[in-house]
Amino acid sequence: MTKTGRQVGVLIVDSRISPLRMGTTALALGVAGFKPIKDCRVERDLYGKRTHITRHALADDLASAAHLVMGETAARIPAVLIRNAPVILSEECDPNSMTIPAEQCLFMESFLGKA
């Protein structure tokens, strides 16, 4: 912020595949300068009911938007600038907030023999 007068967030992005889905999407491998998760558990849904589980993976959503522009294979677009993203810019960023323990993961349940 000192050199530009701007506060920015940075994502390190890579492609991934998802279970039972064709094609790649993106995953935020690293994040700095903004809160990567929006906790929606304190909000109410469209019908006025409190959401008890939902957390919005903002970093992964932005990673997918960047991935769309950057392309795959030989596209050679190494960086994307996203302006006015709906994130909270912050010097206090906990990258561990993007992960959960294996015991709480729906996919990992089958690998751990709990499914």
Provide the residue ranges of all domains of the chain, joining segments of one domain with +.
Answer: 10-111
CATH topology of domain 10-111: 60s Ribosomal Protein L30; Chain: A; (3.30.1330)
- DSSP line for 20-83: T--SEEEEEEEEESB-SEEE-TTSB-TTSPBPSS-EEEHHHHHHHHHHHHH-STT---------
Q: What is the pLDDT of residue 103?
A: 82
Q: What is the pLDDT along the chain (115 residues), one digit of tens a residue?
A: 567 788 899 999 999 998 889 999 999 999 999 999 999 998 999 999 988 888 899 999 999 999 999 988 888 899 999 999 999 999 888 878 899 888 888 788 777 776 5
Q: What is the pLDDT of residue 1?
A: 56
The three-class DSSP label of residue 95 is helix
